[in-house]
Structure formats: structure tokens, C-alpha cells
Amino acid sequence: MKILLDGQWIDRDDKIEVSDPFDNSVVDTVPKCDRIDVEAALKAAVNGFEITKRMSVYDRAQVLYKTAQIVAGDLDTYATIIAREGSKTIREARKEATRCVNTLTVAAEEAKRILGETIPFDSFPGGEKRRGYYYRFPIGVVLAITPFNDPLNLVAHKLGPAFAAGNAVILKPATVTPLSAIKLVEAMVQAGMPPMAIQVLTGYGNEIGDTLVADERVRMISFTGGVEAGKHIVHQAGIKKIGMELGSNSPVIVWKDTDMELAIESCVSGAFWAAGQNCIGVQRLYVHEDIYDEFRTRFVERTRKYKIGDKMKEDTDMGPMITEKEAQRVESWVNAAVEKGARVLTGGKRTGALYEPTVLENLPDGVAVHCEEVFGPTVNLYRVNDLDDAIAQANSMPYGLLAAIFTSNVDVAFKAAYELDCGGVMINDSTDYRLDSMPFGGVKYSGLGREGLKFSLQEMTEPKVVCFYLPNM
């Protein structure tokens, strides 16, 4: 595929192959951008902002509504690209494409609600005869850096609000999954977005990233990805706004009074969705001891029914990991835990990039599958008997994106909601629940700031005060 740079769709002789992790077939190629392309993108983005900041809210919203319609009218194509270039099964990919339509639609709606307020200047001596207000203005050039695991919708989560706010964007999608992102940019241009409003750079983050991130023409970095890259970017960025949507190893508490069937269905899906490559995937399950044995038996039975394999088949529940190297990493983490005493209840085997849905218990302290973000299809069971202890264990990690609790006791639910240290608590859903318009983000190493259209729009705009001194009033 070509990329959009300085208003033109361009190609390069130097290319990167995008391959399907299931069979390693080449899906397509993209240009391998270099530092000259980065400079071209930065210059063009500054010019693009001169256009976008002058567009009316109505025009910006119309482009986003039309983009949503284009994606909605071609869902199968988008789903196929997501499934081919990434890890998702075709059913998972369809859901992502549908969510992208909602993300763009809500971005269009929120464009019309970028509001300011009047300011009571005369509320303090010295403010007499002054009248004023603030309004929110676009921040300028937004650098959007996106991960592989939701290659379409997480791009929409940045392009939608950035454009709704009147910004220009430089998009650097994940190198393994750039195709869905480019297809979305094609739709935006088709919908009437000025081509100068967006620059796409396909190339390795560790080659072109520093030049982009450190450049003063970039006024905001909106990054979604892993903690390591996030920390590096923060160090390079200098003085600019930064939004960080990072990882987690999400905890779920299953209390003794829960609807067990609901908890099992929800947590199995939450653990293995997108082969566990999901920032809100269930990784740590704290189960009350009164129901632990039955929960474990039924959870393992349900996991064993999971059908893994060809992503394009309708009845496949889980596809491969994004690369064989990633599956090897998960395999080595599980093996290291087992050597130290962890027990594999089901799964634990790898074929190429396919790693079986794996359930573990008896986790020793300090092993990576317990305390790091696995970002793969493994889930840990822990036996607990005290709510304070379960909450303390849930909070004991350096992450805090979403947490969840299954219970029918409102007191238990409220206590968990207030004491779990994270960006959101799901009651009777697993952590793998996100409405695209809710404020989404984490505490500690899980991130900085919030996404979720209305909230992204706040982050991607700045308030400007206007004050009239009216001495003759």
C-alpha cells in the first residue's frame, strides 16, 4: 500500500513486508520511511494544520460522519485486513471494524461539543469592568503512535478526536500491522479530509521514532503501546503534551456469591480475546476459596473447548500470536514459572506462532507470568478468602488500567470499586470491557491521561482565555 505524505499517495523502493502470522504469507508491502520522510512529514503537518484549524466544526464533523459511513459500508474488507495482517480471528476483526464506526461517529458528535465557559472576572477586586471567557483551540500537530493489537480502532481513537479538534496528525502505525491504518486514512480522504491534514509514516519506531518524538513542531504525542517504548518516548519528548495508553496485567476478583457461569464465560473470553494480546485482557484471577475448586474445574473445561487455528474460519475462537518470536517469549515465561513451581492446568504448548490458551495456578512470587504484562493467552488462578487481601493483591502490581469484580453483593462491589487502584472497575464483567466513549486510561505504569472521544478532545485541545477590559462600561 502507498502512504499519504505531503498531500500525495507515495511509494518507496525500500519496502517492509506485512505478513500473516498464521502462515507467514505476505499480505502486502508498505514503504520503509526514513529520516528524510520524517522531515517531509513534519513540514507538511505544519502546513496541514493551517488548513485544519480553519475548517468549521461542521465540516470536520461531516468528514468524520462520512468516514464512519464508508467503513460501515465496507466492514468485510476492513475485517479481512485486520484479520490477515494481525492476530485476530475474522469474528474478532468484525467486532473491531464495527467499533471503529462507533468511534468515528462519536468523534463527529463530540466535535460539536468542544465548549468553553464565561469567566466571572469581577469575582475578585481588580477584575471590575472585565468580561471574558475561554474557548478550546486545537493544539497543532499531533503525533499518533499506535500498536498492533487493535490496528484499526486504536488508530480511529487518535485520528477521530485529533481531526474533530482541528489538529493535523502524523500517524505512525505499528510496523507489523500498518494496512488497516492506511485503509482508514484512505476512507478519511475519500470522505473529504484535506489530504494535507494527515501524514502517514510507515517505518520502524526504533529508527525513525526519536527524530519524530523530539521535534518541536510536534505539540502532542498520543502514544498507545508498551511501557518500555512509552518510557523511552517520554525521555525523548521534551516540552510537549503527552498521552500514554500503556499495558497492564489486569486483575479480576471472583467473589463467593457470584453467578459462576457468567464469570467463567466472561473471564475465558477476556483472557483469550485476540490471543491474549489485549491491554485489558484478564491475566490474574483471584477466586474466593469457597468456590475455587468448582470454578477451576469449569474454567479449565471451558478453556479446553476453545478452538484455535486458522483466523479466517468462522468457527475459530483464537488465532496465532502476532509473531512466532512473541509466542516463544510466552512459552519461555510459562516454562520459567513451571520450573519454579507453577502448575499448568491446561495449555502450555506452542506450534509456530500459535500458543495454546493456558491456565496456570500455584504461581510463585516474582515470575514474569505473574508480575509482568504477558500480552499472550495465559491466565493465572489464585485462591483468596478475604476481600481486603484480594484487593491488596490486585493492587500490588506497578500497573492499573482496568480491574473487575464478580459479585452479587453491592457492599462488596462498592468496596472494590473504591479501593481498586486503576482507571476503571467493571462489576460483573471481566476487565475486557470497553465502551469507546468512556474515559479510558490507567494509573501507575498503565498510562497518562485518558482516551475516549470526549476525553481525548480535552487532551488534544488547549483553553484560551479572552478578556475584555471595558473602562467605559
Of all residues in this chain, which one has the CB nearest to ligand NAP in the complex? 209
Q: How far is the CB of 111 from ligand NAP (least distance, A)?
A: 22
Q: Which stretch binds ligand NAP (CB under 6 A): 60-68, 222-230, 358-366, 390-398?
A: 222-230
Cα 385 to Cα 396: distance, rounded to the nearest angstrom: 17
Q: Which residue from 163, 333, 355, 375 is in contact with ligand NAP, where contact means CB under 6 A?
A: 375
194: number of Cβ within 10 Å: 17
Q: Which stretch binds ligand NAP (CB under 6 A): 159-167, 241-249, 332-340, 383-391?
A: 241-249
The reply to whether 224 sits near ligand NAP by the rule CB under 6 A is: yes
Q: Which residue shows C-alpha cell 495482517?
A: 85
Cα 202 to Cα 145: distance, rounded to the nearest angstrom: 11
The reply to whether 170 sits near ligand NAP by the rule CB under 6 A is: no
Q: What would the grid cell of residue 460 be? A: 488534544
Give, for 260, the enclosing helix (H) or strand (E): helix 260-272
Sign of the CA dihedral running 448, 38, 77, 323: negative
Contact assessment for residue 256 and residue 291, using Cβ atoms and an 8 Å cutoff: yes
Contacts of 40 (CB under 8 A, 6+ apart): 5, 6, 199
Q: Which stretch binds ligand NAP (CB under 6 A): 77-85, 109-117, 142-150, 259-267?
A: 142-150
Exposed, middle or buried by CB within 10 Å (0-12, 13-18, 19+), for 93?
buried
- 83-112 mask for ligand NAP (x: CB under 6 A)? ------------------------------
Q: How far is the CB of 166 from ligand NAP (least distance, A)?
A: 24
Q: Which residue from 151, 160, 161, 247 is in contact with ligand NAP, where contact means CB under 6 A?
A: 247
- Select 216 or 389, whichever has its Cβ closest to ligand NAP: 216
Contacts of 215 (CB under 8 A, 6+ apart): 38, 42
**Side chain identity at residue 420, one-letter code:** L
Respond yes or no: is residue 279 known to be catalytic: yes
Cα 268 to Cα 111: distance, rounded to the nearest angstrom: 37
Q: Which residue from 152, 275, 279, 345 is in contact with ligand NAP, where contact means CB under 6 A?
A: 279
**DSSP assignment letter at 327:** H
Convert 369-386 to b/e letters by CB count within 10 Å (16 or more is b): bbbbbbbbbbbbbbebee
- Select 200 or 390, whichever has its Cβ closest to ligand NAP: 200
Cα R_g (the chain), whole angstroms: 23
- Select 7 or 226, whichever has its Cβ closest to ligand NAP: 226
Q: Which residue from 81, 229, 242, 275 is in contact with ligand NAP, where contact means CB under 6 A?
A: 229
- Select 233 or 344, whichever has its Cβ closest to ligand NAP: 233
Q: Which stretch binds ligand NAP (CB under 6 A): 86-94, 147-155, 160-168, 304-312?
A: 147-155
Q: Which residue from 107, 213, 263, 334 is in contact with ligand NAP, where contact means CB under 6 A?
A: 213
The reply to whether 225 sits near ligand NAP by the rule CB under 6 A is: yes
Convert 260-274 to b/e letters by CB count within 10 Å (16 or more is b): beebbebbbbbbbbb
Q: Catalytic pick from 33, 100, 267, 279? A: 279
Q: Please count the CA atoms within 13 angstroms of the CA of 140 that sit on its side-chain side.
A: 13
Q: How far is the CB of 173 from ligand NAP (least distance, A)?
A: 6
Contact assessment for residue 177 and residue 148, using Cβ atoms and an 8 Å cutoff: yes
**Side chain identity at residue 149, one-letter code:** N
Respond yes or no: is residue 33 known to be catalytic: no
- Select 45 or 213, whichever has its Cβ closest to ligand NAP: 213
Q: Catalytic pick from 85, 92, 110, 245? A: 245
Q: Which stretch binds ligand NAP (CB under 6 A): 67-75, 85-93, 205-213, 452-460?
A: 205-213
Q: Which residue from 175, 269, 346, 437 is in contact with ligand NAP, where contact means CB under 6 A?
A: 175
Cα 28 to Cα 85: distance, rounded to the nearest angstrom: 9
Binding site for ligand NAP (CB under 6 A): 145-150, 154, 172-175, 204-206, 209, 213, 224-226, 229, 232-233, 245-247, 279, 373, 375, 401, 447
Catalytic residues: 245, 279
